[in-house]
Amino acid sequence: AQSVAQPEDQVNVAEGNPLTVKCTYSVSGNPYLFWYVQYPNRGLQFLLKYITGDNLVKGSYGFEAEFNKSQTSFHLKKPSALVSDSALYFCAVRDKAGGFKTIFGAGTRLFVKA
């Protein structure tokens, strides 16, 4: 069965510093990986995805993520954090064996301090 793990409930970073939000996954086939962001009392917004090709994918708002097949990871990164990046971030995975259902991680809350 597919699963997604976000090992950190919360990540704290100072504005201007680089940030990393971790994600590991488990699927039986080739994974389709996604990152979404959620602001309070709102739906989720798509940030970026990995389907195939270059392991480093770039997305919205300066975020990027690196697909690492050997470590089954898809960590979200940004070179310089902004206070406005503070939100709840979800990693998600989908694969053919799972019927292409999207499974979400537990979420990581990011706090960026000014």
Residue 4: closest CA among 30, 34, 48, 29: 34
Q: How far is the CB of 59 from another protein (least distance, A)?
A: 10
Distance CA 34, CA 99 (A): 16
Choosing from 1, 41, 53, 114, the residue that interacts with another protein (CB under 8 A) is 41
94 binds another protein per the rule CB under 8 A: yes
58 binds another protein per the rule CB under 8 A: no
CB atoms within 10 A of CB 68: 12
Plot region of 85 (φ>0 → left; ψ -120 to 50 → alpha; else → beta): alpha
105 binds another protein per the rule CB under 8 A: yes
Residue whose token pair is 């708002």: 61
5 binds another protein per the rule CB under 8 A: no
Choosing from 49, 66, 72, 86, the residue that interacts with another protein (CB under 8 A) is 49
Q: Which residues bind another protein (CB under 8 A)?
A: 32, 34, 36, 41-46, 49, 51, 90, 94, 96, 100-107
